[in-house]
Amino acid sequence: MPLPITASIPVAPIKSERENVKSEERGIFEFSSLVGQSTAVSLLEGAIATNRIAPAYLFASVDGVGKTLAARTFIAQLFDTHNLTNHPDLLWVEPTYLDRGELVNQSKLAHSEVKPKSPPQIRIEQIRVVTQFLSCRALTAPSKVVVIQDADRMAVAAANALLKTLEESTSGSIILISSQPQKLLPTITSRCQAIPFHRLNRSNMVRLLERLRNVEIINAPAVVALAAGSPGQAIAHYNQLRTIPKALLEQLVLPPANALTAMCLAKEIDTMLDFERQLWLLDYLQHRWWRSLGNRDWIEKLEAAKAALLKMASSRLVWEVLLLGN
């Protein structure tokens, strides 16, 4: 029996902290909302003005610099509407978690009891829905549009299925959004028009964070360093930091001094933090411990721990090995 595809439905996505402008709160989608992305804006505006819409696009850059906002704005301008919710000619696909035979997307995760133990994926069942969606004519828009969020999280079978779809003649356009385009099949990226996005300089970061009423983030140096020119990531890192128990962070200012403390900390982290927060904590510790210790060995150990978690190793064991310094 095929799995139900709860994530692949023609609705606009729920916004996350990664985006740099909350345009849906304004009720409009304008390219002027994108800051520091003149090249992307020029290419997308030109495509609409000349009515030369490519069969596939790749919006590539780090998270949080406006790729998703740009996609929504591009589609709204193309469709000549500011209401993308439940639009019949738009299909938005997100990575999913598999929970008891059901696919749960990231937008719905916060409203469910699912506690993910592994990263989400875009699965072949979702790509089959994409193919079926594009096989039909548009109902109200000039053409159908599919957006695949975090396209680099496609499973191998899903990537091969998408490649086949891209090779076929369809009645619509596919937009791939990716923060790690190097993970996509070269045969997929070669069939896409690249739309580049860039990290923001500090003045633009401050400008956007002020607009979003998150000025306090500028005074959090660890968060700003982790964000590295991405206002969306700065907000996400700041919000993530506030979900980690303060007492735990205080114990991790430096690597533990003895084996007993290391074992206790590993147990606490495994018990208190889910998979995504553990991954985030490893990134955070890389910055903190490098500033405190300047020791490249610890950076390499933290990278190895992150790789082990991503390979589905026992999280408690991963933390024990890391914190014991082995």
pLDDT tens across 52-97, in order? 999 999 999 998 899 999 999 999 999 999 889 899 999 999 998 8
- Residues 45, 188 share a domain: yes
| Residue 11 lies inside a defined structural domain of this protein | no
Quick check: 6 pLDDT over 60?
no
pTM over 0.85: no
Q: Which residue has the higher pLDDT, 47 or 120?
A: 47
67: nearest Cα among 196, 174, 208: 196
pLDDT for res 278: 94
Residues 71 and 190 placed together within one structural domain of the fold? yes
For residues 133 and 54, state if they share a domain.
yes
Question: Above 80 in pLDDT, residue 126?
Answer: yes
The vertex-146 CA angle with 178 and 30, nearest 5°, equals 75
Whether residue 288 is predicted with pLDDT greater than 80 in this model: the reply is yes
Which tokens sit at 65? 């610099």
232 and 215 belong to one structural domain: yes
Residue 71 domain flag = yes
Looking at residue 67, its pLDDT comes to: 95
For the segment 221-234, the average pLDDT, to the nearest whole number, is 86
| Amino acid 256: pLDDT | 92
Please report the pLDDT score of residue 211 as a whole number.
Answer: 82
**Does pLDDT of 13 surpass 80?**
no
Instruction: For residue 56, give both structure tokens.
Output: 């596939």
CA dist., res. 166 & res. 193, Å (int)? 12
* Residue 220 pLDDT: 81
Predicted confidence at residue 122, as pLDDT, reads 94
Q: What is the pLDDT of residue 110?
A: 63
Q: Residue 82 is part of a domain; what is its CATH number?
A: 3.40.50.300
What mean pLDDT is predicted for residues 148-174?
Answer: 92
Q: Which amino acid is at 5?
A: I
| Shared domain check, 181 and 35 | yes
Residue predicted with more confidence, 17 or 93: 93
Same domain, 224 and 252: no
What is the domain extent for residue 259? Answer: 246-323
Based on the structure, what is the number of domains in the chain? 3
217 with 114, same domain: the answer is: no
d(CA 175, CA 322): 39
Q: What is the mean pLDDT of residues 265-270?
A: 94
Do 44 and 147 share a structural domain? yes
Q: Which residue has the higher pLDDT, 325 or 252?
A: 252
The whole-angstrom separation of Cα 45 and Cα 17 is 25
Query: CA 229, 235, 236: angle at the middle one, nearest 5?
Result: 100
* 59, 182: one domain: yes
Q: Is a pLDDT exceeding 80 seen at residue 209?
A: yes
- Residue 114's pLDDT band (cuts 50, 70, 90): low
Q: Which of 77-81, 102-106, 133-137, 314-318 has the lowest mean pLDDT?
A: 102-106
Same domain, 71 and 56: yes
Q: Could you tell me if 169 and 256 lie in one domain?
A: no
Q: Is 247 a residue whose pLDDT tops 50?
A: yes
Q: 93 vs 291, which has greater pLDDT?
A: 93
pLDDT more than 90, % of the chain? 58
Q: Distance (Å, rounded) from C-alpha 78 to C-alpha 92?
A: 16
Do 83 and 209 reside in the same domain of the chain?
Answer: no
Instruction: Reply yes or no on whether the pLDDT at 10 is more than 90.
Output: no
Model pLDDT, residue 107: 67
Mean pLDDT score of the chain, rounded to an integer? 85
Alpha helix segments (H runs only) across the chain: 23-26, 38-50, 67-79, 106-109, 124-134, 156-167, 186-189, 202-211, 221-227, 231-241, 246-251, 259-272, 275-293, 296-310, 315-323
Residue 16, pLDDT score: 36
Would you say residue 222 has pLDDT above 50? Answer: yes
Q: How far apart are alpha carbons 62 and 18 in whole angstroms? A: 10
Any domain includes 28: yes
**Comparing 25 with 194, which gets the higher pLDDT?**
194
